[in-house]
């Protein structure tokens, strides 16, 4: 079986590896017949129509006054950007989205890694626990959001339990704080997805050679030192994958926030996608497009440096 | 594969055995199962429990959802109420009608393209590959997709939705599968080619069977995403077609207004059941598929 990939499973770094291992001597002509380009056609046709073209449209329609109130679409230049900036919506939505994404990436990875370490041994209890932690991943994010909305009500179950434990009436409005609700919502997002991070960290832990750990153990290394100096650095590919997916997934977040707070209180949890959804519903298509373009540009600006930095950490090893 | 690589730690001793974090600390070894169970009970169970018990309550009892059991289970009444209000059968069919073709399309088109992208070299192919996987990172232009679908006459149709999902998830499939194809030795293909097999045949008989484990993992994740998606569905088919998440949103929007938590949670339970059942039945395969990923 393919031992070369065994090193890094699910973690996508393997994609770049192993390229052009084949000698180039005149092979390209033969390869042309053996691997015909028309195999690419259907996939690229779908990508062109449903992915590239709408993205291109984003750049165009963000500069128009397209809305449901008029039948004609006119060019207005950067008016939409100017409006969104002057009303403060653009910057506040942007800030909220980035803070949310960073919080989710941190929580989801810390929880996922802790779970992976806790449930690493292959016992019956651990297998059961892994399945349980994966249940939220399988559920719809919208459903998870509604569950937590009920769970975190001021007179809801969590405060009920806390009141019983501490013996006084506790009624914290978990979803009603203009400062902390964003953190709570990010925690819910991390709760839903930590099972997936856990599995990927488990896969990463599995790839670490038994000999290395055995050597560290014979040298009298403590569990914590082994983790800090050997296991964690060797998990780099899993960290790259998990951080990148958590960051990008939550930049694109919608369901959980919509179902718990709907963007409130006082729009302090209004992610870009919530704004897009709301303004689209109001018929302000050009504004929604502008925000969609902003999201696209921000992800583009953030994603590549993040992935490059994380990759660099892998190369050091 | 998994079983040979990881000898279960149930049988104690033996230096070659897989060791967990603190294996050489005896007390932790005995404590760990209890910590694991406690984590499940404290972290995972309460929210799931609240959904299940509230789904069995009357409206009055469910006004303020808590962890107590219903005084009388009336799950069945709630199910029948939600069945009609949430148009559950048509939502289920709608979800299925969109997910199955989208997943099939994404896998077929994706693997076909990946094979060629992995096997050919050169600048043009490298650029095509970069474009093809850009969708992993970049968010789809959700608003202008609607405009485009209107121009194509596909607005609000299942075909439009299937196309959008296919376009969104092709990148993921191409990324995973291309990475895997590069690890398949060329010799396997050559042998078939010497026997005079056409590219289609080589792909179908040699490459595709080898891709199954990789594709299986991608399938699981994409099914999850599409089945549970509400954001893109809102824009493309919202109000025109029923899907489970879209109808949950409707039921919940009305339910929150009317304080019908029992109906919201009945819907949540019913909607989560199909995937949960599939997951529980196939959990070993799914978990080992994701953890060993592109391997095998």
CATH code, domain carrying B127 = 1.10.3720.10
For the ranges A51-55, A82-86, A163-167, B284-288, the one whose mean pLDDT is highest:
A51-55
* pLDDT at position A151: 92
Confidence at residue B293, expressed as pLDDT on a 0 to 100 scale = 53
Same domain, B223 and B151: yes
Measured in degrees and rounded to the nearest 5, phi and psi for residue B84 equal -85, -45
Q: How far apart are CA A238 and CA A219, in angstroms?
A: 27
Q: Over the stretch A26-78, which tens digit does the pLDDT of each residue have?
A: 444 555 678 888 899 999 999 999 999 999 999 999 998 888 888 888 888 88
Q: Do B167 and A47 touch (CB under 8 A)?
A: yes
* Residue B118, domain member (yes or no): yes
Q: Which pLDDT tens digit goes with each residue over A107-153? A: 999 999 999 999 998 899 999 999 999 999 999 999 999 999 999 98
Q: Contact B133/B257 with Cβ under 8 angstroms? A: no
Tell me, what's the pLDDT at B20?
47
Q: Interhelix angle for A79-86 vs A89-118, to 10°?
A: 70
Residue A63 lies in a domain: yes
Beta carbons of B268 and A143 less than 8 Å apart: yes
Closest partner residue to B20 (CB to CB) among A20, A22, A121 is A121
Same domain for B250 and B109, yes or no, is yes
- Which of B85, B119, B146 is the endpoint of a domain? B85
Q: What is the pLDDT of residue B160?
A: 95
Do B76 and B213 belong to one domain? Answer: no
- What local confidence, expressed as pLDDT, does residue B117 receive? 93
Q: Quick check: A16 pLDDT over 70?
A: no
Write the Ramachandran bin of A75: left for phi over 0, alpha for psi from -120 to 50, otherwise beta: beta
ipTM: 0.86
Does a structural domain hold residue B290? no
Q: Which of A14-18, A276-280, B191-195, B198-202 has the highest mean pLDDT?
A: A276-280
Nearest CB among A118, A133, A296 relative to B141 is that of: A296
CATH number at residue A261: 1.10.3720.10
Q: State pLDDT tens for residues B72-85.
A: 888 888 888 888 88
Task: Based on the fold, state whether residues B112 and B57 are members of the same structural domain.
Answer: no
Phi-psi region of A30 (alpha: psi -120 to 50; beta: other; left: phi over 0): alpha
pLDDT over 70 (residue B22): no
Q: How confident is the model at residue B197 (pLDDT cuts 50, 70, 90)?
A: confident
Show which of B57, B85, B113 is a domain's final residue: B85
- In this structure, of B6-10, B95-99, B194-198, the range with the lowest mean pLDDT score is B6-10
Q: How many domains does chain A have?
A: 1
**A16 located within any domain:** no
Query: Distance of CA B106 to CAs A286, B67, B97, Å?
Result: 30, 42, 15
CB pair distance less than 8 Å for A140 and B142: no
Q: Do A132 and B290 touch (CB under 8 A)?
A: no
For the segment B54-101, what is each residue's pLDDT rounded down to a tens digit? Answer: 988 888 888 888 888 888 888 888 888 888 888 899 999 999 999 999
Write out chain B residues lying below 8 Å of A250, CB-based. Answer: none
pLDDT of residue A168: 86
Per DSSP, the residues of A6-68 read HTSSSSGGGGTTTTT-S--TTHHHHHHHHS-GGGTHHHHHHHIIIIIHHHHHHHHHTTB---T
In a domain, B135, yes or no: yes
Report the domain count for chain B: 2
pLDDT score for B217: 79
Share of chain A above pLDDT 90, in %: 45
CB atoms within 10 A of CB A171: 13
In this structure, of A144-148, B145-149, B213-217, the range with the lowest mean pLDDT score is B213-217
Distances (CA, A) of B248 to A28, A258, B21, B279: 53, 13, 42, 21
* pLDDT recorded at residue B24: 53
Residues of the domain holding A102 = 53-316
pLDDT in tens, A190-228: 999 999 999 999 988 888 888 888 888 888 888 888 888
By mean pLDDT, which of A80-84, A198-202, B287-291 is the weakest?
B287-291
List the single residue in A11, A143, A292 with the smallest CB-CB distance to B248: A143
From chain B, the residues in CB contact with A15 under 8 A are 175-176, 178-179, 182
The confidence score (pLDDT) of residue B292 equals 64
Predicted confidence (pLDDT) at residue B2 exceeds the cutoff of 70: no
Average pLDDT, chain B: 85
Tens of pLDDT, residues B102-142: 999 999 999 999 999 999 888 999 999 989 988 888 899 99
**Same domain? B124 vs B41:** no
Average pLDDT, chain A: 85
Nearest to A81 by CA among A245, A292, A243: A292
Report the alpha-carbon distance of residue B220 to residue B286 in Å, rounded: 7
Least confident interval from A10-14, A49-53, A151-155, A235-239:
A10-14
Q: Residue B48 is part of which domain span?
A: 2-9+16-85
What is the pLDDT at residue B18? 47
- Domain boundary pick from B50, B85, B120: B85
Strand spans (E) along A50-134: none
**Residue B288 resides in a domain:** no
Is B102 found in the same domain as B72?
Answer: no
User: How does DSSP classify residue B155?
Assistant: T
Domain identity same for B223 and B131 = yes
Write the residue in A142, A248, A293 that is nearest to B248 by C-beta.
A142
């Amino acid at each position: 079986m393919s031992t070369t990939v065994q090193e890094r499973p699910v973690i996508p770094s393997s994609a770049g590896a192993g390229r052009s291992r084949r000698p180039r001597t005149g092979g390209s002509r033969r390869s042309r017949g053996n691997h015909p380009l028309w195999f690419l056609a259907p996939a690229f046709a779908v990508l062109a129509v449903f992915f590239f073209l709408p993205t291109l449209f984003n750049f165009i329609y963000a500069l128009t006054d397209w809305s449901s109130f008029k039948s004609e679409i006119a060019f207005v230049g950067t008016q939409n950007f100017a409006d969104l900036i002057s009303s403060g919506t653009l910057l506040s939505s942007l800030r909220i989205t980035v803070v949310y994404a960073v919080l989710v990436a941190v929580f989801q990875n810390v929880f996922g890694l802790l779970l992976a370490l806790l449930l690493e041994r292959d016992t019956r209890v651990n297998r059961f626990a892994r399945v349980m932690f994966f249940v939220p991943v399988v559920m719809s994010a919208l459903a998870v959001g509604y569950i937590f909305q009920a769970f975190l009500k001021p007179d809801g179950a969590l405060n009920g339990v806390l009141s019983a434990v501490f013996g006084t009436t506790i009624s914290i409005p978990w979803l009603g704080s203009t400062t902390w609700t964003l953190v709570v919502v990010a925690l819910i997002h991390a709760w839903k997805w930590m099972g997936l991070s856990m599995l990927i960290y488990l896969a990463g832990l599995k790839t670490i050679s038994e000999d290395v750990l055995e050597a560290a153990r014979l040298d009298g290394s403590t569990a914590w030192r082994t983790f800090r100096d050997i296991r964690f650095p060797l998990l780099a590919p899993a960290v790259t994958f998990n951080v990148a997916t958590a960051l990008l997934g939550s930049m694109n977040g919608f369901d959980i926030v919509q179902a718990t707070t709907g963007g409130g209180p006082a729009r302090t949890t209004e992610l870009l996608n919530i704004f897009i959804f709301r303004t689209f519903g109001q018929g302000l298509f050009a504004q929604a497009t502008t925000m969609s373009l902003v999201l696209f540009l921000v992800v583009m600006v953030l994603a590549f440096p993040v992935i490059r930095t994380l990759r660099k950490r892998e190369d050091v090893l | 594969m998994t079983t040979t690589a990881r000898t279960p730690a149930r049988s104690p001793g033996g230096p070659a055995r897989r060791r967990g974090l603190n294996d050489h600390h005896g007390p932790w070894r005995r404590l760990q199962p209890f910590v694991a169970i406690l984590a499940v009970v404290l972290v995972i169970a309460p929210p799931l429990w609240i959904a299940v018990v509230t789904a069995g309550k009357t409206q009055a009892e469910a006004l303020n959802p808590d962890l107590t059991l219903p005084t009388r289970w009336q799950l069945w009444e709630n199910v029948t109420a939600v069945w009609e209000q949430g148009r559950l059968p048509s939502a289920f069919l709608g979800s299925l009608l969109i997910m199955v073709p989208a997943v099939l399309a994404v896998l077929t088109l994706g693997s076909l393209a990946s094979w060629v992208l992995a096997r050919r070299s050169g600048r043009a192919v490298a650029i095509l590959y970069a474009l093809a996987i850009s969708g992993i990172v970049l968010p789809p232009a959700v608003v202008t997709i609607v405009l485009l679908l209107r121009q194509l006459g596909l607005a609000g149709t299942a075909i439009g939705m299937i196309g959008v999902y296919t376009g969104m998830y092709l990148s993921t499939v191409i990324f995973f599968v291309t990475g895997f194809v590069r690890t398949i030795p060329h010799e396997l293909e050559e042998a078939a080619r010497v026997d005079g097999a056409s590219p289609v045949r080589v792909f179908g008989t040699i490459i595709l069977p080898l891709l199954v484990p990789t594709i299986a993992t991608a399938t699981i994740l994409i099914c999850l995403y599409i089945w549970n998606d509400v954001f893109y569905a809102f824009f493309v088919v919202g109000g025109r077609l029923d899907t489970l998440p879209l109808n949950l949103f409707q039921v919940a929007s009305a339910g929150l207004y009317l304080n019908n938590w029992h109906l919201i949670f009945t819907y949540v339970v019913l909607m989560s059941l199909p995937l949960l059942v599939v997951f529980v039945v196939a959990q070993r395969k799914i978990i080992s598929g994701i953890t060993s990923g592109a391997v095998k």
